[in-house]
Copies of this chain bind each other. A is one copy, B any other.
Amino acid sequence: MKINIRKAKKEDCVRLMELITELAVYEKSPYEVTVTFDHFVESGFGENPVWWAYVAEADDEKGLKLIAGFALYYIRYSTWKGQRLYLEDIIVTEKMRGNGIGKMLFESLIKVCKEENLNGIAWQVLDWNEPALNFYKKFKEVKLDPSWINGSLD
């Protein structure tokens, strides 16, 4: 199977929303996805984009291209570290796991940091998500810190 990592395009958004929903179901929060499709597209490909993404495109047996996963990020500002890449979502669709796609996506973000002079990557992972935690532990420079609580006000 051939995997190609490339920047996301507007036409990919339907598939991205499918994968976002797949991840939310996995994270036991399907009803938390309340963003509308139009808002999602506008936020990524409108006049003032606030998110960017890379997709992993796989050729299937019939030669069809399928987006098997993606990594979506925005730029955050840390008063401690300056500008960092915030990895909002990284997902590989269930049946395509185990092919190194997650690693390829994560490495594409490291490249973005170097090119855009960002000083690192930050993200969050659920404390019971063992496969994800094991994935991150493979990168020896990664730090995992459980001492923060998420606050929110809708």
Q: Which residues of A contact B (CB under 8 A)?
A: 20, 24, 29, 32-36, 39-40, 43, 50-51, 72, 74-83, 86-89, 110, 119-128, 133, 136, 139, 141-154
Each complex incorporates copies of this chain amounting to 2
Write out the residue numbers on chain B whose beta carbons fall within 8 Å of the beta carbon of A24.
80
Q: Is the pair A149, B122 in contact by a Cβ cutoff of 8 Å?
A: no
Bound complex: CA A72 to CA B77 (Å): 10
Q: Is the pair A50, B75 in contact by a Cβ cutoff of 8 Å?
A: yes
Q: Is the pair B153, A133 in contact by a Cβ cutoff of 8 Å?
A: no
Bound complex: CA A68 to CA B78 (Å): 21
Given A122-B151, A142-B153, also A40-B79 (CB < 8 A):
yes
